């Protein structure tokens, strides 16, 4: 692994522009030497929900299109390329096909003669992870020779940020993801599981779509923010560290990042000589909005003598999902995704039972009309 992070200035989503960036990335990481007519290739976009590209919730189809174009020019056969992801919520072939279509991936697959994966068959993979010893993964994740992780540059109300590593959660099919939220309701063990998953999937290359990213309460309900670049890396932890620094997080704060650093998978400071391509793009973003749930240095606000109680108090004051009744349309998507079975729909409005809520924010990710807020304790406003 080169452990370099490559920046490619990409002013807009026109295919020619994105293709130039993608081609420079693929050549830099030597993909032209890895690709062959026989190689099976998985393109794993971020298809969090059935969402049109302009909302910046999902990887833009132009990125998938440009990767497909470059790979086929490098000798890959389109029929050996599969686009696959599993968004949040229930899945079946019809729902999955509708998501690929809305996100723009079906049209890309048809254009080249590639496949979108709607079947959702799984393969169980043994792993020597810290939290998890086996994963049930989408079949093409396990059986493809090359996995190209096409992530999105987004904030995330639970994990702080979503880029290379978090994108791989979609390799776990449908509601199996909810089982992991139930098994690991706290974000630290959940994030340790995510690092186990990343080690297991071991993507060949990650390209993060940061032409338009998302700030605020991502990954589903934040605001699109223009950034004008692609960020790529052959090491997903190095790639995430660059994104983390650009967003303005302390690297030990997003729990997935902290796990990777503590395991020695990435240093806590990204050496400047790791940055390649349009190196001037690697800079902390001015006025970038972090999620409301972002846990600021709570411990620093508590008198030293009381710090032993911080984890308990912090848990009590943890941000919660809150339904905005006027905005709720009663669609039930939050109920369907909720791993804690904490949501009921009464008179066409969602109601949360906080005794059952594990604060995974899956409901917030899934709500199609931004009717679920992240409510923080007023303590954090002090």
In angstroms, rounded to a whole number, what is the distance separating the alpha carbons of residues 144 and 140?
5
- SS3 at position 67: helix
Binding region for ligand SF4 (CB under 6 A) out of 113-121, 159-167, 237-245, 368-376 = 368-376
Binding region for ligand SF4 (CB under 6 A) out of 115-123, 223-231, 269-277, 326-334 = 326-334
Q: Is the peptide bond before 131 cis (omega within 30 degrees of 0)?
A: no
Using the rule CB under 6 A, is 334 a contact of ligand SF4?
A: yes
Using the rule CB under 6 A, is 352 a contact of ligand SF4?
A: yes
Name which of 161 and 338 has its Cβ closer to ligand SF4.
338
Q: Which of 25, 42, 229, 371 binds ligand SF4 (CB under 6 A)?
A: 371
In sequence order, what are the residues at sequence separation of 6 or more whose Cβ sits closer than 8 angstroms to the Cβ of residue 334?
A: 343, 350, 362, 363, 366, 367, 372
Q: Which of 18, 25, 31, 328 binds ligand SF4 (CB under 6 A)?
A: 328
The secondary structure of residue 52, as a DSSP letter, is -
Contact 370, 224 (CB under 8 A): no
What minimum distance in Å lies between the beta carbon of 341 and ligand SF4? 8
Name which of 61 and 319 has its Cβ closer to ligand SF4.
319
Using the rule CB under 6 A, is 57 a contact of ligand SF4?
A: no
Task: Round the CA-based radius of gyration of the chain to a whole number and report it.
Answer: 20
- Residue 332 CB coordination number (10 Å): 13
Name which of 141 and 350 has its Cβ closer to ligand SF4.
350
Q: Which of 116, 138, 323, 374 binds ligand SF4 (CB under 6 A)?
A: 323
Using the rule CB under 6 A, is 333 a contact of ligand SF4?
A: yes
User: Distances from the Cα of 110 to the Cαs of 68, 81, 103, 326, in angstroms?
Assistant: 11, 12, 14, 41
Name which of 289 and 352 has its Cβ closer to ligand SF4.
352
Q: Which of 350, 373, 374, 376 binds ligand SF4 (CB under 6 A)?
A: 350
**Residue given tokens 């989503």 in the structure block:** 13
In angstroms, rounded to a whole number, what is the distance separating the alpha carbons of residues 285 and 231?
14
Q: Residue 181's closest CA among 190, 173, 172? A: 190
Residues near ligand SF4 (CB under 6 A) are 321, 323, 328-334, 337-340, 342-343, 345, 350, 352, 357-363, 366-367, 369, 371-372
């Amino acid at each position: 692994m080169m452990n370099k992070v490559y920046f490619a200035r990409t002013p807009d989503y026109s295919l020619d522009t994105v293709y130039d960036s993608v081609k420079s990335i693929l050549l830099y990481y030597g993909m032209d030497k890895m690709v062959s007519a026989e190689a099976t290739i998985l393109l794993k976009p971020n298809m969090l929900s059935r969402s049109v590209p302009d909302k910046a919730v999902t990887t833009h189809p132009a990125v998938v299109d440009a990767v497909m174009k470059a790979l086929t020019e490098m000798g890959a056969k389109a029929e050996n390329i599969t686009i696959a992801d599993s968004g949040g919520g229930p899945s079946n072939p019809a729902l999955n096909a509708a998501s690929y279509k809305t996100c723009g991936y079906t049209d890309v697959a048809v254009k080249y003669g590639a496949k979108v994966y709607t079947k959702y068959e799984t393969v169980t993979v043994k792993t020597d992870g810290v939290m998890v010893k086996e994963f049930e993964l989408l079949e093409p994740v396990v059986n493809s020779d090359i996995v190209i992780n096409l992530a999105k540059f987004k904030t995330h109300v639970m994990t702080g940020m979503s880029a290379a590593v978090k994108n791989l959660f979609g390799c776990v099919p449908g509601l199996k993801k909810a089982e992991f939220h139930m098994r690991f309701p706290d974000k630290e063990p959940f994030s340790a599981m995510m690092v186990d998953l990343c080690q297991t999937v071991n993507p060949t290359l990650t390209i993060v779509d940061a032409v338009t990213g998302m700030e605020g309460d991502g990954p589903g309900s934040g605001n699109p923010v223009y950034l004008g670049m692609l960020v790529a890396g052959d090491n997903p932890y190095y790639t995430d560290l660059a994104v983390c620094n650009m967003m303005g997080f302390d690297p030990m704060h997003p729990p997935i990042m902290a796990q990777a650093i503590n395991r020695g998978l990435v240093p806590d400071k990204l050496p400047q000589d790791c940055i390649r391509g349009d190196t001037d793009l690697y800079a902390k973003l001015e006025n970038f909005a972090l999620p409301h749930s972002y846990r600021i240095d709570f411990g620093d606000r508590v008198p030293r003598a009381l710090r032993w109680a911080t984890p308990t108090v912090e848990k009590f004051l943890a941000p919660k999902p809150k339904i905005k009744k006027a905005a709720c349309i009663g669609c039930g998507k939050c109920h369907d995704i909720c791993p804690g079975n904490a949501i009921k729909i009464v008179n066409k409005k969602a109601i949360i039972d906080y005794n059952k809520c594990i604060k995974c924010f899956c409901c917030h990710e899934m709500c199609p009309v931004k009717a679920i807020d992240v409510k923080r304790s007023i303590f954090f406003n002090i």
